[in-house]
Amino acid sequence: MRRLRAWFLLPGATIMAVLFFAPLLIVVLYSFLSRGAYGGVELPWTASSYTRVFDSLYLAILWRSIWVSALSTAICALLGFPLALYIARAGSNRTLLLNLVMLPFWTSFLIRIYAWMFLLRDTGLINSFLLAVHVIRQPLPLLFNTGAVILGLVYGYLPFMVLPLYATVEKLDPSLLDAAADLGASPAITVWKVIVPLSKPGILAGSLLVFIPCLGAYLTADLMGGGKSVMIGNVVQNQFTTSRDWPFGAAISLLLMAVALLVTRVIGRKGEQLL
Amino acid sequence: MKRFLALYASVAYAFLYVPLLVLGAFSFNASRIAVWQGFTWQWYRNVFRNEALLDGTIHSVVIALGATILATASGTLAAYAIWKRSAPLLTNSLYLSLLTPEIVTGVSLLAFFQWAFRYLHLQLGLDTVILAHVSFCLAYVVLVVIARLRTMDSSFEEAALDLGATEWQAFRHVTLPLLWPGIVAAALLCFTVSFDDYVVTSLVAGVNSETLPMMIYAMARRGVSPEVNALSVLITVALGALILLAGRLERR
Amino acid sequence: MQPLLELRGLTKDFATHRAIDTIALAIARGEFFSLLGPSGCGKTTTLRCIAGFETPNAGDILLDGRSLVPLPPYRRNVNTVFQNYAVFPHLTVQQNVAFGLERRGVNNGAITRKVRDALALVELTGKETRYPNQISGGEKQRVALARALVLEPELLLLDEPLSALDPKLRKQMRIELKTLQARVGITFLFVTHDQEEALSLSDSLAVMNSGRIEQVGTPRELYRQPASRFVAEFLGEINWIDQVALRPESLNISKNHPGGGIKALPATVQTTTFLGNRTQLRTTLANGRECVIEVQDAAQNIGPGEQVHVWWRTSDEIHIPNP
């Protein structure tokens, strides 16, 4: 058995070693090198990229990314909770309703962002309509701002919140709700005092599943925020492409990863639990 | 309470679907601007005549197929080994790769390929994209397949050994067939994630390996174009058909 | 004569506890042998060590005088009927029974013939093309039996095979199992926690308790001459009167003292329960102890609260060495 198991682990372990850890190691090394004259990296070793990371400009962007992600996560939880509750009580339609939440996830993420751009642009459907019926004279600035980024993130990751929430709400014993009602709690009080506290594991799991991708979001910020709503992921991309400052990009990447890991630790789930 | 929830749910479903339905409807709009001016197939004809888009589609399918095959095969084997006896090092690595923001995965692979190619005299191309996709798809496969294995009774495998099957034969003739639905689900997830990926792909793709999402991205940045609407409808329909097909395979 | 299976000082430790503790056992060829004990006593672990799913920490397992310990499960000429049957859900009845023969590389003609015979033996002819989800629990049980027996093992291990069946079917399968064993002549090692099953099926049995074997013998010996209080109590209801133990059916009851030379004690009837072929009376002795009596003659007109005499023959007394 031992031999067979070793052979089975080999391809996966090789992929992780060569295509995950080796690249990560290179990023660590690069973060301590100097910027090359024509891009890339060169000697000498230096920690100057790290001192630049703590420049107030980049810390401000990091901070922005954190609160935009936190706000998106909170909105997802607020929007997702009643939906999960409704699906859990929908009887025989539950699977269908849950699949309907997950279905957009199976279509392209890029297309979902484009769908909102189509609605929100200056020449998009909403502005065109409002101009045509003469409600406005100038197009409303609906796209390319932080609000649009948050909308895009919520739209993109809402299914990730609903799924774990549904899993916990669905397991709640209905007699607990009857008991609360019997003891004189109104439906709203029952939700707030009984259902929400008992759904804590689902809320935490969902928050993690939404917060982590939001924090590293690149595409949503790039397309819906325009150049105006920069998040930390966009800074990383920019350093590796346009600015060609790889050591600095590498240092920010590691900072971003550190924040993601820290948040995961705080929310308190371990690898073995998730896998 | 119940009525409120039902009302709320219909608004939530509208939020999820109306943007996509509007996008689809306007792929048939006779005008380039977002005002309805009659029905046309024009944009679909344009999409099918566009050779660059056709090349991009071929690239995307090749990449997604390659990454799906490699990641599903190695991920299934790894999941089975982890299920047999825990492998904390690999498990934690996979977990870390799940937590790594896509953009970080992308730039680290870019840096790695650039560094490796200095010695190997190779170039970025479709193959580098496939390898990059395998790297982030592996964790998804292990996650899905392990979930399936956990619902499986280990006595089936013991029965096979008891009846004279070697470990390999027990895996091949008993565990693998029983695992089939999980493997199909994992492969489907890999395929859609790989087919859809822009962030990592745009960083590690070579000059002549532009993919469909890269083209949609470029068109979306340029402005509203009904061709993108038509293309979106086509991709969604194709992925939908694939999911239905996989559902059939799974139930077999 | 050399036993077919011999366990020598077999020991198995798990992370937190010792599951089996230096047990020794010998099973003769052709026997129907049962391992009886409460759940967690180590009987299933013993079975899994013999099948090869667990590696013992110490001791040896000999089949026909050769050690099984270094062999993987697929090289042992021992087959198992699992508690939940473990009939492969993706294979038909026919394919399930053929599974082991195919692994041995038996030619197709022989496979077809052997599978047909095995299915006839367990009366499943006609169900060859069914999948496990299209047959009943009892039929799955037969598939599991046929699948193991078709390989003609020297020893068949049965891990609580009847526990997943409903009570009526369980009784019927019990009879069939006994007939089947007599017909095929293969040695059966049967693990169960049901003393009625063990007593009615076995040629001999061993009672296990917390990793150790308490006693080995024929069902009659164990029931009549238990070596320990545990065995006495596990094999059926028993009353402790003075220094001896008495089974409920050894006790008699009468309104008056049965007369000189017969051991008797006064008692008060608490409840009477009519059980069809017998009546059970729960009484309290003068010293306050409860005493359960089962009598054939249900006509005795004795009701709760009545003062009676409980009497027995000295030959029915059970003397336990160290109670």
Per-residue pLDDT tens digits for C253-285: 888 887 777 888 888 888 888 888 888 888 888
Alpha helices (H) along A89-123: 94-106, 109-120
Q: Cα–Cα distance between C300 and C312 in angstroms, integer?
A: 17
Interface of C with B in 13-52 (CB under 8 A): 51-52
pLDDT mean over B207-217: 87
Closest CA to B213 of B76, B98, B102, B86: B102
Q: Read off the CATH number of the domain in which A89 is found.
A: 1.10.3720.10
Q: Cα–Cα distance between A172 and A81 in angstroms, integer?
A: 14
Q: What is the pLDDT of residue B68?
A: 96
If one counts the domains in chain A, the total is: 1
Residue B194 has pLDDT above 60, yes or no: yes
Closest CA to B7 of A154, A83, A74, A161: A83
C55 touches chain B (CB under 8 A): no
For residue C189, which residues of chain B lie inside 8 Å, CB to CB? Answer: none
> For residue range B45-99, what is the model confidence (pLDDT) as tens digits?
888 888 888 888 899 999 999 999 999 999 999 999 999 888 888 988 998 898 8
| Cross-strand pairs, C272 | C281
pLDDT mean over C55-60: 93
> For residue range A175-203, what is the model confidence (pLDDT) as tens digits?
777 777 777 677 777 777 778 888 888 88
In a domain, B44, yes or no: no
How far the first Cα of chain B sits from its last, in Å, is 42
State which residue of chain C sits closest to B172, comparing Cα positions: C103
Query: Under a CB-based contact definition with an 8 Å cutoff, are residues B208 and B52 in contact?
Result: no
To the nearest 10 degrees (0 to 180), the angle between helices A146-171 and B2-25 is 130
For residue B165, which residues of chain C lie inside 8 Å, CB to CB? Answer: 74, 99-100, 103
In a domain, B204, yes or no: yes
Please report all neighbours of B, defined by 3+ CB atom pairs within 8 A. Answer: A, C
> For residue range C108-141, what is the model confidence (pLDDT) as tens digits?
999 999 999 999 998 899 999 999 999 998 899 9
B132 touches chain A (CB under 8 A): yes
Q: What is the pLDDT of residue B42?
A: 84
Determine what percent of chain C is predicted with pLDDT higher than 90: 50
Beta strand C58-63 with C5-13 is antiparallel
Pick from B90, B112, B228: CB nearest A114: B228
Distance from CA of B45 to the nearest CA of A (A): 20
pLDDT mean over C279-308: 81
Distance from CA of B74 to the nearest CA of C (A): 24
Report for A39-43, B13-17, B243-247, C252-256: range of highest mean pLDDT: B13-17
The token duo for B203 is 């960083």
Pick from B156, B166, B169: CB nearest C86: B156
Q: What is the 3-state secondary structure (H, E, C) of A127-156?
A: HHHHHHCCCCCCCCCCCCCHHHHHHHHHHH
For residue C72, which residues of chain B lie inside 8 Å, CB to CB? Answer: 161, 166-167
Q: Which residues of B touch C (CB under 8 A)?
A: 153, 155-156, 158-167, 169, 173-174, 177-178
State which residue of chain C sits closest to B155, comparing Cα positions: C86
In a domain, B102, yes or no: yes
Interface test with B, best of A102, A118, A150 (most B CBs within 10 A): A118
For residue B132, which residues of chain A lie inside 8 Å, CB to CB? Answer: 19
Closest CA to A71 of A146, A168, A167: A146
Q: Read off the CATH number of the domain in which B83 is found.
A: 1.10.3720.10
In a domain, B12, yes or no: no
Determine what percent of chain A is predicted with pLDDT higher than 70: 94
For residue B235, which residues of chain A lie inside 8 Å, CB to CB? Answer: 107-108, 111
State which residue of chain B sits closest to A220, comparing Cα positions: B199
Residue A2 has pLDDT above 70, yes or no: no
- Distant-in-sequence contacts of A128-135, Cβ < 8 A, 24+ apart: A128/B33, A128/B34, A128/B35, A129/B34, A129/B35, A132/B35
pLDDT mean over A65-80: 92
pLDDT class for C323, splitting at 50, 70, 90? Answer: low
Pick from A5, A109, A223: CB nearest B81: A5
Q: What is the pLDDT of residue A39?
A: 66
For residue B143, which residues of chain A lie inside 8 Å, CB to CB? Answer: 274-275
Please, what is the average pLDDT of chain A?
83
Q: What is the pLDDT of residue A273?
A: 47
Pick from C53, C90, C104: CB nearest B164: C104
To the nearest 10 degrees (0 to 180), the angle between helices A2-16 and B51-84 is 140
For residue A241, which residues of chain B lie inside 8 Å, CB to CB? Answer: 203
Q: What is the pLDDT of residue B87?
A: 85
Full residue range of the structural domain in which residue B223 is found: 53-251
User: Which residue type occupies A78?
Assistant: L
Distance from CA of C78 to the nearest CA of B (A): 8
Phi, psi of B159 (to 5 degrees): -60, -40
In a domain, A129, yes or no: yes
If one counts the domains in chain B, the total is: 1
Q: Cα–Cα distance between A275 and B78 in angstroms, integer?
A: 12
- What's the Cα-to-Cα distance from A86 to each of A112, B14, B124, B244, C114, rounded to whole Å? 24, 15, 49, 26, 57
Pick from A104, A108, A212: CB nearest B16: A104
Pick from B2, B103, B143: CB nearest A237: B103
Would the CB atoms of C104 and B177 count as touching at under 8 Å? no
Would the CB atoms of A11 and B74 count as touching at under 8 Å? yes
Q: What is the pLDDT of residue A271?
A: 39
Residue C211 has pLDDT above 80, yes or no: yes
In a domain, A214, yes or no: yes
pLDDT class for B154, splitting at 50, 70, 90? Answer: confident
C161 touches chain B (CB under 8 A): no
In a domain, B59, yes or no: yes
State which residue of chain B sits closest to A127, comparing Cα positions: B34
Would the CB atoms of C151 and B163 count as touching at under 8 Å? yes
pLDDT class for A275, splitting at 50, 70, 90? Answer: very low
Q: Cα–Cα distance between A65 and A217 in angstroms, integer?
A: 9
> For residue range A84-127, what is the model confidence (pLDDT) as tens digits?
888 888 878 888 888 888 888 777 888 888 888 888 887 777 87
Please, what is the average pLDDT of chain C?
89
Would the CB atoms of B162 and C103 count as touching at under 8 Å? no
Query: Under a CB-based contact definition with an 8 Å cutoff, are residues A225 and A146 in contact?
Result: yes
C253 Cβ partners below 8 Å, 6+ apart?
C281, C283, C293, C295, C300, C302, C308, C309, C310, C311
For residue C80, which residues of chain B lie inside 8 Å, CB to CB? Answer: 158-159, 162
For residue C74, which residues of chain B lie inside 8 Å, CB to CB? Answer: 161-166
State which residue of chain A sits closest to B72, comparing Cα positions: A12
A26 touches chain B (CB under 8 A): yes
In a domain, A260, yes or no: no
Q: What is the pLDDT of residue C13?
A: 92
pLDDT mean over B226-230: 86
The token duo for B113 is 């390929």
Residue A1 has pLDDT above 70, yes or no: no
Would the CB atoms of A112 and B19 count as touching at under 8 Å? yes
- What's the Cα-to-Cα distance from C305 to each of C269, C279, C283, C302, C311, rounded to whole Å? 5, 16, 9, 9, 18
Contacts A–B by Cβ distance under 8 A: 252
| Cross-strand pairs, A42 | A34
Interface test with B, best of C45, C53, C74, C145 (most B CBs within 10 A): C74
- C77 CB-side CA count, 13 A: 12
Pick from A104, A117, A257: CB nearest B101: A257
Q: Cα–Cα distance between C191 and C205 in angstroms, integer?
A: 10
State which residue of chain B sits closest to A86, comparing Cα positions: B5
H helix or E strand, kind and range, residue C67: strand C66-67
C153 Cβ partners below 8 Å, 6+ apart?
C77, C78, C79, C186
pLDDT class for B169, splitting at 50, 70, 90? Answer: very high
In a domain, B216, yes or no: yes
For residue C15, which residues of chain B lie inside 8 Å, CB to CB? Answer: none
Residue A20 has pLDDT above 90, yes or no: yes
ipTM of model: 0.86
Domains of chain C from N-terminus onward: 5-230 (3.40.50.300), 237-316 (2.40.50.140)
In a domain, B236, yes or no: yes
> For residue range A240-257, what is the model confidence (pLDDT) as tens digits?
888 788 888 888 899 899
Q: Cα–Cα distance between C187 and C100 in angstroms, integer?
A: 19
Please report all neighbours of A, defined by 3+ CB atom pairs within 8 A. Answer: B
| Cross-strand pairs, C269 | C283
Would the CB atoms of B163 and C148 count as touching at under 8 Å? yes
Full residue range of the structural domain in which residue A180 is found: 65-227
Pick from B101, B108, B196: CB nearest A233: B101
Would the CB atoms of C73 and B156 count as touching at under 8 Å? no
In a domain, B128, yes or no: yes
Pick from B22, B107, B132: CB nearest A236: B107
For residue B95, which residues of chain A lie inside 8 Å, CB to CB? Answer: 271, 274-275
Query: Under a CB-based contact definition with an 8 Å cutoff, are residues A240 and A249 in contact?
Result: yes
Q: What is the pLDDT of residue A270?
A: 43
C147 touches chain B (CB under 8 A): yes
Interface test with A, best of B107, B113, B161, B194 (most A CBs within 10 A): B107
